[in-house]
Structure 1
Amino acid sequence: MSGSPPYLLTPRQVHELSQSKTQLALLDASWYMPNSPRRPKDEFLGKRIPDAQFLDLDEVASEHELGLKHMMPSPGMFAKACEIFGINPSTHVILYDSQGVFSSPRALFMFRTFNHNNSSIIDGGLPRWEAEGLPLETRTPEGSRPAMTYAIPSQNDHSIRSYEQMVSNASRDMSSDLTELVVDARSHGRFTGKDPEPRPGLSSGHIPNSFSLPFNLFLESHTNPSSGDKYTTYLPEDGIQKALVSTIGSENASLVIGGRKSVTTTCGSGMTAAVLWLGLRLLGAKEVGLYDESWTGYASRKTSVIEKSL
């Protein structure tokens, strides 16, 4: 592949790459909500794409003053993780998760933010791989890979938004060219304040002047005919654009896609915000940021203005 590889690869494309001499690293970046009984590391040990390793997004993460999980790691921590995985700057990193499209975009966001642009996700993840009859590995994973050298990378600071930036942006006039659009990937009920947050004690509601854009509006659901398991893939680009227009309007969508208006994605904890981030990048939007703390960080602060639209 010349230049950066595509954001999305099909399982068969990845399988073909794995049979070539391309230097690959397959990482299972599965993650589940705190109230889920599923354990991604245990599932990885039981079944995975051959030669994959497990990327724990809660471990390759910086500590946070509020105790928030899976915050962006420091450049040094990211480089160290790559070395342990046997990844060097020229390795094509391919990420996937066990729900189709859920947490793998967050892992891709991490790699791309540290300018490791030689990275992609499997659209449909492990369940689509399995549905297409591709080989699986169930034996005990091999030990650690030969360590690589990975220089501490530069970080694209324009990709990450802080609490202070979000508060400042929310106070601006929406018509100002300086005001970023904010799209929230949580369910509409949590956004309006009608439904509770899954994290005990945390208020639902939304950041002032933000838009509700549940992440599943960018996705389509599929069923494995053999197992009955459901999984998701991204919609075609016209479907993603239709969902975006329905939320922020055609004029704003045109400005965002054309790079004339910045947009920031947010969610509950910074995970599914990356589903929106990647969907917007698939449409060609360049000025796309992600609020790393997302709603958990914002709503945990007593000084935050929380709007509800019950």
Structure 2
Amino acid sequence: MVAGYSSSAGAEAPLIISPSQLRQSLKGEQQVTVLDTTWFMPNSPHKAYEEFQKRRIPGAQFLDLDELASSHELGLKHMMPSGAQFAEACEKFGIQPSTHVVLYDTHGVFSSPRALFMFRSLGHINSSILNGGLPSWNAKSFVIDTNPPSQPPHKSKYTLPKPDQNAVRSYEQMVANSASNPSTSVEAELVLDARSSGRFTGQDPEPRPGLSSGHIPNSFSLPFTSFLKTEEGVQGSTYTVFREPYEIRKELDNAVGAAQAERIIQGEATAVTTCGSGMTAGVVWLGLKLLNVPKVSLYDESWTGYAMRSTSKIEKA
């Protein structure tokens, strides 16, 4: 069982890897664990685990991001787990501190960055996402396992991690920060909202019934899709992958202005990513990490937690 503390877990792996790199790793001597971290919006007809049972990368196991989560007073889903919850899950998957964990989803890039944020924030830096996920693997004509999933490996022992205290922002921190304009205050953190621009401005409704759209005061609109591009898969299908770093930098400049972007890049200001529920904020978080931004945090509750509170100030337009 879990015991002790560790500030890191194994060597640091690349943030993203290609299908060819993953296939080569699976053939190598290093221990690699592949996890399907697919997540769908609550109103989606798709069921992630059911799809995993039908098609997966050989040897992959399924990580339910809603299940591996801490409870929340507002009933919010997929909140960051405690160190003990995380360690217990790693033990179940047979993951050791030295294991290279590769995370993917069936969208291409959607929920896997959130899973990577969780692993990295809990000290398991030997972790990566598969750029393009299962569709990119399939597009390379690599083997897809359609047999019933095998039983998970024997449990391993995983050292209780020490969470990064700067990784997650609370509601109280977001409210306090929202009073400062980053254009005039060097202390203000730059809040980057990964939702669509229509939801940010309040023109479009939220997908969660009864929840107001709009945005946190002094935040910036940076839709997570701006960091991604579309690739063509098999039989006319499409999927998403990350853009090149220079393209991501351009999108960041467009969202916050070149001067503020440079402050983020140089570590003079902290970037805080947010979205609807804390899921696609992971895409923006990872995009910034690909630019080597040193100070990036994530508002775990995101817009759902913020807008549910009657005392929250909501701006539109």
Output the TM-score relative to the length of structure 2. Answer: 0.96
In the alignment of these two chains, the number of paired residues is 307
SS of equivalent residue, structure 1 residue 157: coil
For the pair 1:209 / 2:199, whether they are aligned, the reply is: no
For the pair 1:178 / 2:187, whether they are aligned, the reply is: yes
Q: Which residue in the other structure is 1:222 paired with?
A: 231
2:298 counterpart (265, 278, 290): 290
Q: Which residue in the other structure is 1:39 paired with?
A: 47
SS of equivalent residue, structure 2 residue 166: helix
Give the Cα–Cα distance (whole angstroms) in 1 for the partners of residues 275 and 181 of structure 2: 22
Percent of paired sites with the same residue: 55
For the pair 1:63 / 2:71, whether they are aligned, the reply is: yes
CA contact (8 A) 2:69 2:78 kept: yes
Q: How does 1:247-286 map to 2 (within 5 A)?
A: 247-286=255-294
Shift of 1:263: 0.7
CA contact (8 A) 2:180 2:218 kept: no
Q: Deviations over 1:82-128 (max 9, x none)?
A: 00000010000000000000000000000000010000000000000
Q: Which moved more, 1:64-73 or 1:171-180?
A: 171-180
For the pair 1:188 / 2:188, whether they are aligned, the reply is: no
CA contact (8 A) 1:24 1:93 kept: yes
Give the Cα–Cα distance (whole angstroms) in 1 for the partners of residues 187 and 261 of structure 2: 16
Shift of 1:26: 0.2
1:246 counterpart (232, 250, 254): 254
Q: Which residue in the other structure is 2:36 paired with?
A: 28
Matching residue's letter, 1:210:
S
For the pair 1:10 / 2:31, whether they are aligned, the reply is: no
Give the Cα–Cα distance (whole angstroms) in 2 for the partners of residues 21 and 138 of structure 1: 25
2:123 counterpart (115, 120, 123): 115
CA contact (8 A) 1:258 1:284 kept: no
CA shift in 2, pair 1:112/1:219, >3 Å: same
Give the Cα–Cα distance (whole angstroms) in 1 for the partners of residues 270 and 173 of structure 2: 13
Give the Cα–Cα distance (whole angstroms) in 2 for the partners of residues 110 and 298 of structure 1: 21
Q: Deviations over 1:152-199 (max 9, x none)?
A: 100001010000000000012432221100000000000000000000
Consecutive unaligned residues in structure 1, runs of 5 or more: none
Consecutive unaligned residues in structure 2, runs of 5 or more: 1-9
Matching residue's letter, 1:198:
P
Give the Cα–Cα distance (whole angstroms) in 2 for the partners of residues 13 and 227 of structure 1: 24
Alpha-carbon RMSD: 0.9
SS of equivalent residue, structure 1 residue 158: coil
Shift of 1:3: 4.2
Output the TM-score relative to the length of structure 1. Answer: 0.98
Matching residue's letter, 1:195:
D
